[in-house]
Structure 1
């Protein structure tokens, strides 16, 4: 089995369009619920500096296809869950295009800087993901396959998954993540803050948070793919 990363610049999807202007904000699709009269509600987890999150949500709420944005916590928090309801008339989702071509994917996409990131699971041979890419592009969006690797069982496969995960991080992301770990940021009942890590490494708080957040997203995406490939 192979897992493939698909990047989509999903023109017409409000969260994707707006996130291009808020690169410090990361959006993860949690679930999607059909509504009436062509409306659909998506539950999104939105993370980033509080003022960026607030600006992102306000801009999404003002987008033409959006009916409502209901935040389940304060909009100025750095990690919020929201329900975004928008009109999907004459709009075909990436999920629908993938289903048309018999392609399975990890539940939910991650959106950063205007690009949706999807993890696809493919048996060796068919289906061919390039056909789905062509269909997405024909619908008016930009799409590209950016990574593909075999998912093997056993210790060798686990070593490969870790190596690929580290390779997917930038040098600065690895540096910030390693420092956060050494300082005890992930320890139970930890008191270390992002500001403490920023002071130690000599970067702005927002910049440090962005590097750390993107490193965490990459690590968790790889861990999720690794577990899913083994039936967990």
Structure 2
């Protein structure tokens, strides 16, 4: 039987190896993750997440699952939105990222109101029809089987619930895309080496962005997972796209 492979950045690796390799990347960058995000995006990632929060439509008393929530920046905002009667779950497959997120939320005074769960997006450990809203920000591209993850998310959404996927995508302007490529493959790894002492992890992150499905492909994948009214909004010229779909 032919061995199944998948992409780890530009490298072709056995399917069973990818999760372990991704885990090593995030173990390495966890402590400096927020600082690196600010440097790499020049702070614009905060605007992207604020738009995601607004488009989520989350209201008081609702249930929210923040997948690949890592350091908990979106989770913290959802806690404020749902109020004391709501429920917010921070989930991530990586224990190092979860530890950083848990500590940060405790420092901000909201840790007691957040459930922290180490979970694989491909097989979420929640009953069907549990959440009003699910978000995954900059995490889907690291998942081995994206179709399985999207189907798992759709399963645990309540009828009427919505999934928001915030992820790097394909710039719309060819000239801008070339500039962006130069930045991603030459500047970004250097920042990673200077700030986090880890150029290789940030080179992988740049490659993983290029291997991620483009806007239309991801839209179709969400529809195939059973979501409806799927739409996307390009942010910063398509460097990032916010996809949203509903379960009916």
Same fold per TM (> 0.5)? no
Name the structure where helix makes up a greater proportion of residues.
2
Structure of higher CA gyration radius: 1
Q: Which has the higher contact order (CA 8 A, sep 6+)?
A: 1
When normalised by structure 2's length, the TM-score is: 0.29
